[in-house]
Structure 1
């Protein structure tokens, strides 16, 4: 963690809302982390949350009284002031019940009274079982809260209180801490990647057979463009090297260079590489190209047509071989079998700092979808799996991992 990231929470006023979920036990660790970073923390709880962790525990850790009811500790008057006191209100865990009440504007407990009175930004970290998380009502409530301008801290996948394994786990306290730091960095105009030059490759390449035919693949470029936009949102100056696709970006922080072939992409990236601090190779580059390109359209003739193929330049290997000590290199691994084995091998062989693995076996992941499901492996041996999300949300997860590696 960089010193700049640590200073982001110094003196910040964090209002933590704890609702009724088994994940309430994580509030103790979260409070300790926030206090250690120099934040001032006040806590409001629901009575249901007090069944999982005591107000006394959270009061001791935060060094502030923890009211439960609207009448406690002059809360009838103070709930409005609490909402005005905070720099940010963080609701963690946010149960399905609390999310629903927030979306509807209900106000039957102190936490909700404070929420409705809050004039500060609101962040929420959902926590519930997988079926509850995927229920259309929950999805609608979350979308509505995001439309209010609130920020959702992504759920994680893992073992749930029900004993099942799936999505819905609250983010770990360390992840929530990082999310808060990034929130204040952006609010203060000190974005995490200010001044960093990033190269992103996206889309397919095409390899010509003759003037009208070519070899290509189904990549749409959506994932790479989403990553370029997320990097630009974090303050990076992004050079997007984009293969032939109908997808576009109008982000002012992105300069687009259009290419067609693997050789053109190799040349564009290689030229820009010395000045780059980050490279994300998200393009689906053709591995082979015709050894000889016909200068005229090949006419239909024999029953079979044989085309000799040769390897295209290995862009990622070249970047890894020439990587400087301050450069961070991210690759992708899209597989149909033995996904983890191949991803880790690619991470080692091509000298990557981070690899993004996804599988065509996962429904809703891969080419042409608006969603993706990824697992991240970094050079330090860390593995992090995420549920199926929009490609914009996946891009945020990838950029967060990049920022963490930069600040490690």
Structure 2
């Protein structure tokens, strides 16, 4: 029992054993200032970063800033350092190229295969993962020319990150805003981990619960858990980048950036979570229950703050009532035809093990009880997983053998979970 959540310590993501060579391309938009934060993020994770701006980008952020942050000279033209053939060498030696922000003009030039400055020449040479992060006004983003150019890049294997919704230049608001540097950097690291993110979920509706629920004791105190919501948000980010229409029903979470293009529905208690999931699951193609749900709630909630040192023993003796099993209820609703038979349902099992069974054994038993299609199981003992940026565990399906998920960032884990979901849906003909 506590007046506030007691978060677990955050474990930083593991730095690469050897610095990767990452090229950060910057084009001429107001969001160019965020590229400075992106460079710093990548450097702080142990990577070597080279900034290649367009001439227009230097109208927003000076070369000196990028040189100081990256530790490398900055050039915009293929005619600098000709003896080093840098217009070829930079792209050849890159482990990843990320263009952020990418204006409509730069996207068009990359799609056309032009190489009329150092940035487009570098992209044309690169054989490593290329991530393009658009930033422009909403009208530009939805213009048929831009849509065709983006589709061309994706067809060629370039990852085009979905833009965020929010405030643009001036008073405009809508899709086209550059995602936050931390989101961009995490997607870059996910691609560097060997994860392909195909844009193959267009038209799919994905419903994800995330974070922990809280059950009130009185107007001040509540019973909660250590969930941060990071894994659920990572799942939403990858699903959004695959082209899905994503809704997150979010309980208590840490200060997380909203995944690009996702809709957030905020709830507090388990009963609120159940109501939202039951209602929205009817229209979903994929339902993922990654929230850490409170199994019990107080039988009664005090209308005023309970005081210690009184004859009222409510603070020392709690009477609890069991909460409904939301995941099991969703599976039952599908069996009864209230949810489409083609809806794929994914659950999570946070286990610590006991004197009789290991975390995996307990998760396997839970998988049988719940009846969902996929279960991601974690060992959360000793402060693992909750609140951390990394995860590991097992993916359980109707196959006999569990699939081991190696230690990695929660985005990398999310991509593996969604790949398994994709396999199951293809096998079912969905």
Q: TM-score, normalised by structure 1?
A: 0.55
Distance in 2, matches of 1:120 and 1:405, equals 34
**Structure 1 residue 292: Cα displacement:** 0.7
Change (3 A) 1:222 1:149: closer
Distance in 1, matches of 2:413 and 2:317, equals 41
Q: Secondary structure at the match of 2:217?
A: strand
Distance in 2, matches of 1:148 and 1:254, equals 21
Residues 347 and 379 in structure 1, CA contact (< 8 A), matched pair in contact too: no
**Structure 1 residue 118: Cα displacement:** 7.7
Distance in 1, matches of 2:278 and 2:255, equals 23
Distance in 1, matches of 2:418 and 2:373, equals 13
Alignment of 1:30-109 (within 5 A): none
Q: TM-score, normalised by structure 2?
A: 0.52
Is residue 325 from structure 1 mapped to residue 341 from structure 2 by the alignment? yes
Residue by residue over 1:340-368, the C-alpha shift from the partner in whole angstroms, topping out at 9 and shown as x without a partner, is: 222112222111111101102477x3211
Residue by residue over 1:342-397, the C-alpha shift from the partner in whole angstroms, topping out at 9 and shown as x without a partner, is: 2112222111111101102477x321111111211112334211221111111111
Task: Specify the alignment match of 1:235 in structure 2.
Answer: 243
Task: Specify the alignment match of 2:319 in structure 1.
Answer: 308
Q: Secondary structure at the match of 2:246?
A: strand
Task: Specify the alignment match of 2:291 in structure 1.
Answer: 283
Correspondent of 1:342 among 362, 369, 390: 362
The gaps in structure 2 that reach 5 residues or longer are 1-87, 96-121, 131-184, 335-339
Change (3 A) 1:305 1:397: same
Larger RCO, structures 1/2 (Cα 8 Å, 6+ apart): 2
Residues 210 and 290 in structure 2, CA contact (< 8 A), matched pair in contact too: yes
Residues 199 and 238 in structure 1, CA contact (< 8 A), matched pair in contact too: yes
Is residue 272 from structure 1 mapped to residue 280 from structure 2 by the alignment? yes
Task: Supply the RMSD in Å over aligned alpha carbons.
Answer: 3.3
Distance in 1, matches of 2:350 and 2:327, equals 14
Task: Specify the alignment match of 1:397 in structure 2.
Answer: 416
Aligned length: 248
Change (3 A) 1:149 1:306: closer
Alignment of 1:187-202 (within 5 A): 191-202=199-210
Task: Specify the alignment match of 1:384 in structure 2.
Answer: 403
